[in-house]
Amino acid sequence: MELVCPAGSLPALKAAVDNGANAVYLGFRDATNARNFAGLNFGMDEIRAGIRHARAAGAKVFIALNTYPREAHWSQWTEAADRAADLGVDAVIVADMGLLRYCAHTHPHLRRHLSVQASATSHEAIGFYARQFGVQRVVLPRVLSIQQVRQVIAHSPVEVEVFGFGSLCIMVEGRCFLSSYVTGESPNTCGVCSPAKAVRWEETAGTRRSRLNGVLIDVYTPGEPAGYPTLCKGRFDVAGEISYALEEPTSLNVLAILPELLRAGVAAIKVEGRQRSPAYVAQVTRVLRAALDACTRGPEQYAPRAEWLAALDRLAEGRQHTLGALDRGWQ
């Protein structure tokens, strides 16, 4: 299994490559990628430097063109695809069908991966993208159980990549309707589900409250850890019971089931976090590289080491980890 790691900057790219990533994914410094934040992403000179560094270590470079183009600015996305082809990157990660068609027709030799933003959750959907646009790999959404992942791979005509560590996104993978409704902005085209300008913290009667554009997300008691507020990881009153109704504020971590993913035929493990620091990327990459190597050498004898789990938990949301939808008791 390949290890695919995030690169939000040139130092992060070097950190991933130097610590064992088989591939890195990055974006241009514009609206064509879903992490279009100030201080993140790459200009052309930085990308060229990053490609040189990756190639020297035998690593691949993927460019994320994973936002949905705006009709009035279609040329911005096609020009980005042209730049990616000119740079000679190993693949583009695309969600939009129109842009996939453009890449297939204009740059047929440019490898195309289907972004998780496309939210293809069945082998029928994957087969459609493979037939129509020549997609060669699909990134699965983080909403499938391990049994469903196995079934998809068994019938998929292309490689399958799954997320292995990082924040969980369960709302149509980066196109959260709840966030769009509350903030009036698309997480896909604006780059974040909880824009900082919409987040408010309130200290009231010994409690701390988090709100997104006025909507109450959570109430914390004194001393209780409080992560960055997102709607899907808030506590809500459902039928009189207050709980994390959608998802808990923890990070995905698949170390415990690496042998199952290997046997299922997963082609690559992806790490979320282009917005993270180079130090974060280095540590996560180092741990996952060691775990993947151990699993590949002996899947039957493999077991995640305590120091690996402890290292990743220090970097996880709420310092806790979960298998997310991969392991749900009610499924």
pLDDT in tens, 217-247: 899 888 887 777 888 888 888 999 998 888 7
- Residue 6 lies inside a defined structural domain of this protein: yes
Count of structural domains within the chain:
2
Helix (H, G, I), strand (E, B) or coil at 100: helix
What confidence category does residue 321 fall into, taking pLDDT thresholds of 50, 70 and 90? confident
- Residue 174 lies inside a defined structural domain of this protein: no
- Residue 123 lies inside a defined structural domain of this protein: yes
- Residue 187 lies inside a defined structural domain of this protein: no
> For position 191, what pLDDT does the model report?
64
The whole domain housing 220 covers 193-243
> For position 143, what pLDDT does the model report?
86
- Residue 185 lies inside a defined structural domain of this protein: no
- Residue 302 lies inside a defined structural domain of this protein: yes
Domain of 29: which CATH number?
3.20.20.70
- Compute the residue count for the chain: 331
Question: How do residues 247-305 score in pLDDT, each as one tens digit?
Answer: 778 889 999 999 999 999 999 999 998 989 999 999 999 999 999 999 999 999 999 99
How many whole angstroms separate alpha carbon 328 and alpha carbon 172? 18
By CB neighbour count within 10 A (0-12 exposed, 13-18 middle, 19+ buried), where does 120 fall? buried
130 and 146, same domain (yes or no): yes
- Residue 135 lies inside a defined structural domain of this protein: yes
157 and 288, same domain (yes or no): yes
pTM for this predicted structure: 0.91
- Residue 9 lies inside a defined structural domain of this protein: yes
149 and 7, same domain (yes or no): yes
114 and 222, same domain (yes or no): no
Phi, psi of 158 (to 5 degrees): -135, 170
48, two tokens: 């060229």
